[in-house]
Amino acid sequence: MRTLQYLGKLRNLQVFVCAVSMLIAWSAGPAAAQDVTTIVSNMVQAQRANRAQHTAYEVTRNYQVFKPENPNSTSKVVAEVDFLPPGAKSFKITQSTGGMVEHVVRKSLEHEVELTQDPSESEYTPANYDFTLVGRDVVDGSQCYVLQLKPKHDSKDLLNGNAWVDAKTFLIRKVEGSPSKSLSFWLKDVRLTFRYQDVDGMWLRTSSQASAHVRFSGEMDLISRDVQFKSLQDNDLATAAPSPVLRATHYSPRNTARRNTATNNFRDQQQP
């Protein structure tokens, strides 16, 4: 009798273990894939809705370039970046220590202008990436899904890395990775970090950091931070006087003017 009871309990235990195993396998399979699909779909919709809410603005951005072993010795550039929806961006260099650093910053800003005209080449969508849900994390006090990014084609504008997607808004709070295609013969081991936050009702990239090994120069870091935001009223753009600039150069797909309005300084909100 005791033997039969023992066999019955053993059989029930085996059934339980089998059921748990099936549940784990099911959770790791189609259900997980569906979760990723839902997250990515919501993320794409959030990006599009955010882009539609963008209004004309100007940001003042500080750039610093330095060697990691000597962070106090920096080269600095300050730029004013104007955006006019839906896809026109321009910039002016207002302060600079000159040299190669200004050249690098200028090239970066020129490329940013080009990407603004056609964001599809770099946006985080299934057209550009395969996504895998690899975990959860907290960024700036908000719960986030961590999505692994795997580019579908080699491009200087696509990253092998991770994106932290806000679990409530599905907007991207942080991205870390390396370009899927070499940026230059002069650079290797490039690592990029982008941070995003709300600015006057728009979700914008407000800081970035790039680290790389530069041939003949060693390790270098470049940090950029948007330190001041200025809203631009569409009906006053034509009559606004341009701000003074350090140099006569100006890169823009079309001419825009600016109006001095109330500013939103978010220097203290930036992450180091």
The range of the structural domain enclosing residue 60 comes to: 46-269
Instruction: With 0.85 as the threshold, say if the pTM is over it.
Output: no
Please list the pLDDT of the chain residue by residue as tens digits (272 residues): 554 454 454 455 454 444 434 333 333 444 444 499 999 999 999 999 999 999 999 999 999 988 877 777 678 999 999 999 999 999 999 999 988 888 889 988 999 999 999 888 899 999 999 999 999 999 999 999 999 999 999 988 899 999 999 999 999 999 999 988 765 645 666 889 999 999 999 999 999 998 877 665 667 888 999 999 999 965 444 333 333 333 323 333 333 333 444 445 444 444 44
Strands (E), 24-101: 57-67, 70-84, 88-96
In the chain, what's the furthest Cα-to-Cα distance?
98
Answer whether 101's CB lies under 8 Å from 75's CB.
yes
Calpha distance 22→20 (Å, rounded): 5
Domain presence at residue 31: no
* Residue 181, domain member (yes or no): yes
Rounded to 5 degrees, what are φ and ψ at 65? -125, 130
Contact indicator for 149, 162 with CB cutoff of 8 Å: yes
H/E element, 231: strand 218-231
In a domain, 34, yes or no: no
| Residue linked to tokens 């339980």 | 16
Give a yes or no: residue 18 inside a domain. Answer: no
Cβ-count burial of 115 within 10 angstroms (0-12 exposed, 13-18 middle, 19+ buried)? middle
CB crowding 157-175: b at 16 or more within 10 Å, else e? bbbebbbbbbeebbbbbbb
Cα 220 to Cα 65: distance, rounded to the nearest angstrom: 7
Residue 9 domain flag: no
In a domain, 7, yes or no: no
Rounded to the nearest 5 degrees, what angle is found at the Cα of 220, between the Cα atoms of 66 and 139?
A: 85
Dihedral angle over CA of 37, 33, 146, 47, nearest 10: 0
The candidate with the shortest Cα–Cα distance to 156, out of 175, 185, 189, 179, is: 179
Taking CA atoms, 86 is separated from 12, 47, 116, in Å, by 64, 14, 9
Q: How much of the chain is in helix, strand and coil states, percent to nearest 5?
A: 30, 40, 30
From the list 264, 220, 258, 194, the residue with the least C-alpha distance to 56 is 258
Angle, vertex CA 165, rays to CA 164 and CA 169, nearest 5: 150
Which pLDDT score, from 0 to 100, does residue 230 have?
Answer: 94
What is each CA distance from 80 to 110, 149, 193, 229, in whole angstroms? 13, 31, 21, 10
Residue 175 in any domain: the answer is: yes
> Is residue 4 in a domain?
no
**What per-residue confidence (pLDDT) applies to 101?**
84
Count up the domains in the chain and report the number: 1
What CATH number corresponds to the domain at position 69? Answer: 2.50.20
How high is the pLDDT of residue 133?
Answer: 96
**Tokens coding 220:** 């270098």
